[in-house]
Amino acid sequence: MSLALFPLNTVLFPGCTLDLQIFEARYLDMIGRCMKKGEGFGVVCILGEASADDMTDAYAVVGCEALIRDFKQQDNGLLGIRVEGGRRFHVSDVTVQKDQLLVGEVRWLDEQPDSALEEEDEDLLALLQVLAEHPMVASLDMDTNAQGQQALANQLAYLLPFTDDDKIKLLEMDSPQQRLDMIQFLLDELQGELFT
């Protein structure tokens, strides 16, 4: 399936909210098409500089569908949109249109069935609730009442200050339990760095 791609310096996760300001003509056109068709676009993380003949090293090959939830004209005259992460996808090929919009051939990734939160997830759930009180997170109006491991893993992976490389690895993982285990490992590493 073909999907318009929006490269960003961030990693979007399913169920998470992202605010964007749109000003380039190619992306304004893309947003207009998405809204008319009721479709989303793909967010992929920028990894490096793209060269004219090789796009593969410039962007992550795993991304997340962005579904437009709201839009408004900003005070600065730019279009502001709020998107919510939808399905994860793998990009197999990228082409550049005449207007420089990237279009990827994507395959949707299967999601494992969600699992109920367990006792060992309580510390991570408490961390999410603390993060939810931060003004920047609260302004996203994101539902941070994680009812299962999938939502808890996605929201923590999105909100915590991990590197883009670590966030991409987390997005690639199919298992919510594996994602939570890696989040705990990364948190332990962060804590270790703070106290050394």
Which residues, 6 or more positions from 194, have their beta carbon under 8 angstroms from its beta carbon? none
Question: Which pLDDT value is given to residue 167?
Answer: 97
CATH classification of the domain holding 169: 1.20.58
- Amino acid, res. 38: G
Q: 10 Å Cβ neighbour count for 109?
A: 16
- Is residue 47 within 8 Å of residue 95, measured between CB atoms? no
Assign 194 a pLDDT band (cuts: 50, 70, 90).
low
Assign 195 a pLDDT band (cuts: 50, 70, 90).
low
Shared domain for 28 and 97, answered yes or no, is yes
Alpha-carbon gap, residue 191 to 9, rounded angstroms: 25
The single-letter DSSP state of residue 120 is G
Question: Which pLDDT value is given to residue 55?
Answer: 53
Shared domain for 13 and 67, answered yes or no, is yes
Question: 59 is in which domain, residue-wise?
Answer: 2-108
How many domains does the chain divide into?
A: 2
Among residues 188, 124, 195, 192, which one has the least CA distance to residue 154?
124
Encode pLDDT of 120-165 as tens digits: 999 999 999 999 999 988 888 888 888 899 999 999 999 999 999 9
Residue 112 tokens, joined: 């494992």
Mean pLDDT value across residues 4-30: 93
Question: Which pLDDT value is given to residue 155?
Answer: 95
- Is residue 17 within 8 Å of residue 144, measured between CB atoms? no
Helix or strand holding residue 151 (H, E): helix 149-159
Alpha-carbon gap, residue 27 to 35, rounded angstroms: 12
Among residues 117, 113, 110, 116, which one has the least CA distance to residue 172?
110
Question: Which pLDDT value is given to residue 10?
Answer: 95
Mean pLDDT value across residues 2-17: 95
Q: Rounded to two decimals, what is the model's pTM?
A: 0.90
Domain end position, chosen among 41, 74, 108? 108
Question: Which pLDDT value is given to residue 4?
Answer: 95
CATH classification of the domain holding 81: 2.30.130.40
Shared domain for 90 and 162, answered yes or no, is no
Shared domain for 95 and 129, answered yes or no, is no
Mean pLDDT value across residues 15-19: 95
Shared domain for 23 and 102, answered yes or no, is yes
Assign 54 a pLDDT band (cuts: 50, 70, 90).
low
Domain end position, chosen among 84, 108, 132? 108
Question: Which pLDDT value is given to residue 45?
Answer: 95
Is residue 93 included in any domain, yes or no?
yes
Is residue 114 included in any domain, yes or no?
no
Question: Which pLDDT value is given to residue 25?
Answer: 87
